[in-house]
Amino acid sequence: MLGFLNASKRFRALRDRTPLGLLQLKHDRLRLLTAIAGITFADVLIFMQLGFADALFTSNTQYPRAIQADLVLISPQAKNFSNLRTFPKRRLYQALDVPGVATADAVNIGSKVWRNPQTREKSSLMMVGQNPDRAAFNLPEINQQIERTRLPDSFLFDQAARGDYEEMIAEVQQTGTAQTEIGVRTVTVTGLFTVGASFGDDGALITTNQNFFRHFPNRDAGTINLGMINVEPGHDILSVQADLIKHLPGDIQVLTQEGYVDFELNEIQSNSPIGFVFSLGSAMGFIVGIVIVYQVLSTDVNSHLSEYATFKAMGYRNSYLLGIVFEEAIILSICGFIPSLAVGIGIYSLTSAATSLPMAMTVGRAIVVFVLTVVMCGASGAIATQKLQSADPADIFS
């Protein structure tokens, strides 16, 4: 009995100095490093999936967020900004009949393959045609140079496009123009702006609607992809929206600018297979982490089952023993998260440089992944502690 009391005092003194869960983990350093590596791998996988998903949402809504209009007209069959489908241009003229509508302009969007003047390789660029008299986007770089696109086959080029364009960009900056080909036509780059690539296109070209149809001869000039409505001062935007919905035929959706951005995001999140893949990847990383941590904690509990039985014999309750396992889970979550954060930041930087996608670590995402890591390790600990129910004090005398 005296031996048990002395042992109890030593255990309490040890517990007061160093967390017992940490001592348990340090006892087998190889197992500890394996667990940290496993959690780091799971967290990096989650970081990458969340990073790519955010890049998808951000890059595919860069232009919708920059639209400079109170209301937006699109086809009911529209999928996303790069695949808006077409509707009759006369809907814009009909919209002008609605009280409160100040202007109605057309925007046309399509993808074209062009030849990189530097590498001579072909790549896909999104071509956007707009009315040069009224800015379609709240992008000063474009608006200050849009007059340069009035000449035939003249375009503004997104210098943040994916690919090697250093020489062409330098030529435009020095001489004001650079030439290349789109299909069988020679085109002139007359200015530069910066937005960035998306998952669907390597970059973008901005021009007038007239130039747009020169490169899409099979497109009906009486159709458009997007209508931009500006409301007269003093009129309520939502009231004008309701009037447009009543006045225009059913082949048109009338959305506010914010509503159109939400439409784009919902389309990506709900109907895009890429969005589903990234969500599934994050879930798989979480499950992998749970399995790895469970294996480590379960093995640890099994290897120290007799010690846990000794604790019970000395009077420690199950809650204290469970606390040790959860303590290990918390320590593992912290030790695994820190290196994963460093690796995630590095991979984000490399991916952004290689793909021109907007990938950067945010405080919010780091907090989300840390919470997921704690939950992941806590869930593993909860499963592993079930084995403690078999820690019978009688086992130490067998």
Residues 85 and 221 in one domain: yes
Residues 329 and 196 in one domain: no
Residue 123's φ and ψ, nearest 5 degrees, are -150, 160
Q: What is the mean pLDDT of the chain?
A: 84
| Intra-chain end-to-end CA distance of the chain, in Å | 18
Instruction: Residue 200: count other Cβ atoms within 10 Å of its Cβ.
Output: 16
The answer, yes or no, to whether residue 136 has pLDDT greater than 60, is yes
pLDDT at 18: 56
Place of tokens 């790549």: 123
Residues 178 and 121 in one domain: yes
- Supply the pTM of this predicted model: 0.73
The answer to whether 372 touches 284, Cβ cutoff 8 Å, is no
For CA atoms 371, 332, 41, 273, give the dihedral sign.
Answer: negative
Please count the structural domains in the chain: 2
Residues 97 and 142 in one domain: yes
For CA atoms 11, 12, 18, 24, give the dihedral sign.
Answer: positive
- Six-digit token string for 313: 């014999």
Residues 308 and 364 in one domain: yes
Tens digit of each residue's pLDDT (9 = 90 or more) over 313-360? 666 666 676 777 778 788 888 888 999 999 999 999 998 888 777 888
How far apart (Å, rounded) are the C-alpha atoms in residues 189 and 180?
Answer: 8
Rounded to whole angstroms, what are the CA distances from 254 to 98, 238, 239, 257?
Answer: 13, 10, 12, 10
Place of tokens 């030790």: 335
Residues 236 and 365 in one domain: no
| R_g of the chain, CA atoms, integer Å | 31
More confident residue, 398 or 92: 92
Residues 43 and 154 in one domain: no
pLDDT at 316: 64
Nearest to 396 by CA among 266, 309, 285: 309
Residues 281 and 179 in one domain: no
Whether residue 301 is contained in a domain is answered as yes
Tens digit of each residue's pLDDT (9 = 90 or more) over 17-43? 556 666 666 667 787 788 888 889 888
Residue 284: domain span: 2-59+274-397
Tens digit of each residue's pLDDT (9 = 90 or more) over 49-106? 888 888 878 877 889 999 999 999 999 998 888 888 899 999 999 999 999 999 999 9
Whether residue 28 is contained in a domain is answered as yes
The answer, yes or no, to whether residue 253 has pLDDT greater than 80, is yes
Mean pLDDT value across residues 221-233: 94
DSSP β-ladder status, 178-182 and 87-88: unpaired
Mean pLDDT value across residues 275-291: 81
The answer, yes or no, to whether residue 277 has pLDDT greater than 90, is no
